[in-house]
Amino acid sequence: MKFADHILFRNSLTELKSILQDEKVFVIIDRKVEALYGFEFPYRKVYVDAGEDSKNLETVSNIVSELLKLGADRNCLLLGIGGGTVTDITGFVAAIYKRGVRYALIPTSLLAMVDAAIGGKTGINFNSYKNILGVFNTPEFVYDCSYFLKTLPEREFLCGAAEMLKIFLITSGAQFRRTVKFFAENKQFTFDNQEELESLVLKAVKAKCKIVDADFKEKGSRRVLNLGHTFAHGIEHAGVEGISHGEAVSIGTVMAAKIACRLDYCSERLVKQITSSFEKVGLPTSTDVNVNLLFEAIEKDKKREDDTIHFVMPTSLGSVRVEQISITHLKGLAQGL
């Protein structure tokens, strides 16, 4: 089964009850999400707090303890409801609880809908290193529902835009330009832009799923999806105040383009085009974080192989190049960006 076959695109929650009616469900849910939407499910719930600070072994331990108290057995289904933190944690817990139970996801942020909940990657952080513990684990289904986007703050809305731009920068110049235009003109979900947004989300998810299906465990071609993330994870590890994951991806993607230009893999014109595109959307494109701090994380990146890393760089709108570069060389190239 292709990964796209696991995704249900809906604009309401009406079908969810019938999908889950015969399941022994235990809900792992973000406290703020429940407060915002209610979710009057007849299922037992385990609460987590959103945010990177919660993606750790302590949270996993607390969830496992609650599941044991609630009597969750090997036939249960864990249902994660929330943003990327919750979807990552739910998939990870499902993989290790009683040697593996089924799980499904209801992503409630745009970023989770197009990226975190898609592709079967799960993970938690360790000593502030991003997703250093994790497994590949395919959910029973992902319920991608635009209903949740109605209350999404502008900043979180645009964080999802960053991941969509990343996907289209890899796969389609036409869709990249279309996405830039949409988010430059629309900073939040409205009924007037719902159809266009749903169309873009569908295309972004399908584009990612096609890459995932070709290389589920990221041994080769799936590496392209790491565009922008080498530096983004470094920025997050450095604890740059006020920077979210989507914003870090925006900065990291621009940095990757500048590295590509320094290696003559793309033109200065492309770097300016990518930079201005992210800025038109309302995303940051630079940071003053010290390069040495960035490379503290990069040197411990899970994608590192000996003293090299597979680094992804844009070569044109809709095309990227993966180059195995020594970390020392990459650090030199990153100076002054």
Give 75-94 pLDDT, tens digit per residue: 999 999 999 999 999 999 99
**Exposure on the CB side of residue 246, measured as CA atoms within 13 A:** 29
The single-letter DSSP state of residue 138 is -
The single-letter DSSP state of residue 226 is G
At the fourth CATH level, the homologous superfamily of domain 154-334 is Dehydroquinate synthase-like - alpha domain (1.20.1090.10)
The list of the chain residues with pLDDT below 70 reads 240-241
pLDDT value for 14: 87
pLDDT value for 121: 95
Q: Which CATH architecture has domain 3-151?
A: 3-Layer(aba) Sandwich (3.40)
Q: Which spans in the chain are helix H?
A: 16-20, 31-37, 57-70, 84-96, 110-111, 154-171, 173-185, 194-214, 229-237, 245-262, 268-281, 291-298, 327-334
* Pairing outcome for strands 129-133 and 124-126: antiparallel
For residues 92 and 103, give the distance between their C-alpha atoms in angstroms, rounded to a whole number: 10
The single-letter DSSP state of residue 121 is B
* Residue for token pair 């392209």: 224
The structural domains of the chain, with segments of one domain joined by +, span: 3-151, 154-334
Strand partners, 7: 142
Nearest to 53 by CA among 111, 131, 153, 125: 125
Work out the widest C-alpha separation in the chain, in whole angstroms.
59
Percentages helix, strand, coil for the chain, rounded to the nearest 5?
55, 20, 30
For residues 46 and 335, give the distance between their C-alpha atoms in angstroms, rounded to a whole number: 45
